[in-house]
Amino acid sequence: MTIAETDVDARFDRTIDRWFRDQLALNPEAATYLGIHDHDGDLSSGSPEAIDEEVAFHRRAIEELTALDPSELSADRALDRDLALHQARLAIHWETEYRPWSGASHGAEHIGEALFPLFTRDFAPLDQRIERIIERLHAAPGYLSDVRHRVTAPVRLWTEIDLESTEHLPGFLDTIIAAARAEAVDDRLTSRLVEASNEVKAGLEAHAHWLRDDVLPRADADWKAGPERFEEMIRLRELEADGDEILAVGEELLVSEKRARDDLASQIDPTASLAEVADIVKNDHAATFAEALGEYRESMDRARAFVVEHGLATPPEEDHLNVIETPDFVRHLVPFAAYYDPAKFDRTPVGTYIVTPPSSPEMMREHNRSSISNTSVHEAYPGHHLQLSAAITNPSLVRLFSGAPEFSEGWAFYCERMMKEAGFDDTPMGWYIVHTDAIWRATRIILDVQLHRGVIGVDEAVERMVAETGFERPAAIAEVKRYTSTPTYQLSYLYGRHMIEKLRDEVRAREGADFDLRRFHDTLIYGGTMPVSYARRLFEPSGR
């Protein structure tokens, strides 16, 4: 944040400082992810009252921020004010209208996510991090007990996912214990870790018993957002379109991307059928997952070097990325790969790129070399890792909490085509995967809208996903399961790319010969993560 220029600026800064601290107190896990380690031993409350407290927090924020006249604020602060109001309104709708917490406990998943950064990030010696892990483990059985009181309208599919997470988390606890022993952590500390883990395992066993015997028999609530609520989510996200317009973009791109992919098939093998070409591409993979993981790392390094050499974007000075296997407790939710942000306030911010080992021999085909190249662009350079590493250099505290998936996911998806057009792995098989992944994202728009409007069901969505993308069935099932609990998120990839490309074209038309692609990219990613409709203000002369 720049130095306050007026009394209203100073008042805004004080309001946001308090807003930031209060938000971390409500969500100590977020503090850890940001690299603020005062709360590392704490877990947020799992009680129903905690939901009420969070909603009250957002309502207070709206009241305080609307009292500030944006015309009296500096441009950056006016943007942050509007962005914080946007976030608060979305959060209130999510917690009071969609109410995902009433459909499943998400208890084990939450605990695993709370432990993950303490275990995987090297911000302190392992023994110190294990002390904090033990403290969170001691709080975990109480958390599991509390979240049960929230589940008043259980959803069967979500409960089944909840049960899977509950059964997988002990494996992650064993991984932490094995690391402590391998690193020769003090025996007494390791013993305390084992004791705390055993307490949590007992709590998880009781939780699984509750899910199976109590929740599943009454899990008959509907997971769909419904047409009206889905449309309201789109409106609150300020996507500059309604559901029908977004669906039309998905349907149009599905047709054009399939045509483009089919046209490529003859370049790969003119004698092969379309199905045989798909097999040629997918069968080009390493013999083992360990070798494939090495190929991910090599591809990531090549992509970074390409971005720098071709002047596509400027990496930040602090740029560190680890590539690891996906932890057990989330493998059923992450069929391919995912990314965890670097911590803004850690001395050395490190991004974490997780890759899921194949659950069956056929799933190894999803780690084919062309997919590895494209996924590394999406997740690492210049996709998520570069964007989020740049974003945390922005001084705004507000933008740290702005998820805006149409920006973050849209940017990563935008990079896939942009990098191919610039020449990175510009081969027929490389382009085949780019078009395949675009078909996947177009299908996501269609399924996101149709599932939550009640047009299709889960089984039909899985069949559509397999038919359109050629995904192996386990991957398609994992994908669609996730869609049921994240309305409007899945459409963010392709529609976010659409919004970014539209913004780029507007800026290029305005600047003419002065337009510079790297400057456009840097302005976007160093401005911080925010809705594309807000990022547009970064390119306006007044910044408003």
DSSP string computed for 22-80: HHHHH-HHHHHHHT-GGGTT-----SHHHHHHHHHHHHHHHHHHHTS-GGGS-HHHHHH
Which residues face 324 on adjacent strands?
354
Query: Rounded to an integer, what distance in angstroms lies between the CA atom of residue 436 and that of residue 430?
Result: 10
Q: pLDDT at position 542, please?
A: 60
Residues 272, 420, single domain; the answer is yes
Full-model pTM: 0.91
Q: pLDDT at position 470, please?
A: 83
| Phi, psi (degrees; rounded to nearest 5) at 403 | -70, -50
Residues 289, 385, single domain; the answer is yes
141 within some domain: yes
Residues 106, 65, single domain; the answer is yes
Contacts of 529 (CB under 8 A, 6+ apart): 387, 388, 391, 399, 402, 403, 404, 407, 408
Q: Where are the beta strands (DSSP E) in 157-316?
A: none
Residues 214, 234, single domain; the answer is no
Query: Rounded to an integer, what distance in angstroms lies between the CA atom of residue 55 and that of residue 313?
Result: 39
Q: pLDDT at position 354, please?
A: 87
Token pair of 471, please? Answer: 């995904």
Residues 296, 445, single domain; the answer is yes
Measured in whole angstroms, how far is the alpha carbon of residue 323 from the centre of its chain? 16
Residues 106, 177, single domain; the answer is yes
Residues 356, 333, single domain; the answer is yes
Residues 111, 142, single domain; the answer is yes
543 within some domain: no
Helix (H, G, I), strand (E, B) or coil at 351: strand
- Structural domain including 172 reads 7-218
Q: What is the DSSP letter of 348?
A: S
Number of domains in the chain: 2
Q: To 10 degrees, what angle do helices 107-120 and 126-147 make?
A: 170
Looking at 183-242, list the stretches that DSSP marks H as alpha helix, in order from N- to C-terminal side. 187-210, 227-237
Q: Burial level of 252, CB count in 10 A (0-12/13-18/19+)? A: exposed
233 within some domain: yes
516 within some domain: no
pLDDT beneath 50, residues of the chain: 543-544
Query: Rounded to an integer, what distance in angstroms lies between the CA atom of residue 295 and that of residue 535?
Result: 34
Indicate the residue among 218, 245, 266 that finishes a domain. Answer: 218
531 within some domain: no
532 within some domain: no
Residues 169, 272, single domain; the answer is no
pLDDT (tens digit per residue) in 321-375: 999 888 776 776 677 788 888 999 999 999 988 898 887 788 888 899 999 999 9
Query: Rounded to an integer, what distance in angstroms lies between the CA atom of residue 300 and that of residue 325?
Result: 15
540 within some domain: no
| CA neighbor of 142 nearest in space, from 28, 22, 44, 41 | 44
Indicate the residue among 172, 192, 218 that finishes a domain. Answer: 218
Q: pLDDT at position 134, please?
A: 98
Provide the residue type at 133 as one letter. I
Residues 166, 241, single domain; the answer is no
504 within some domain: no
Residues 115, 38, single domain; the answer is yes
Token look-up 């399939």 returns: 258
| Phi, psi (degrees; rounded to nearest 5) at 351 | -85, 155
Indicate the residue among 166, 187, 218 that finishes a domain. Answer: 218
Residues 214, 232, single domain; the answer is no
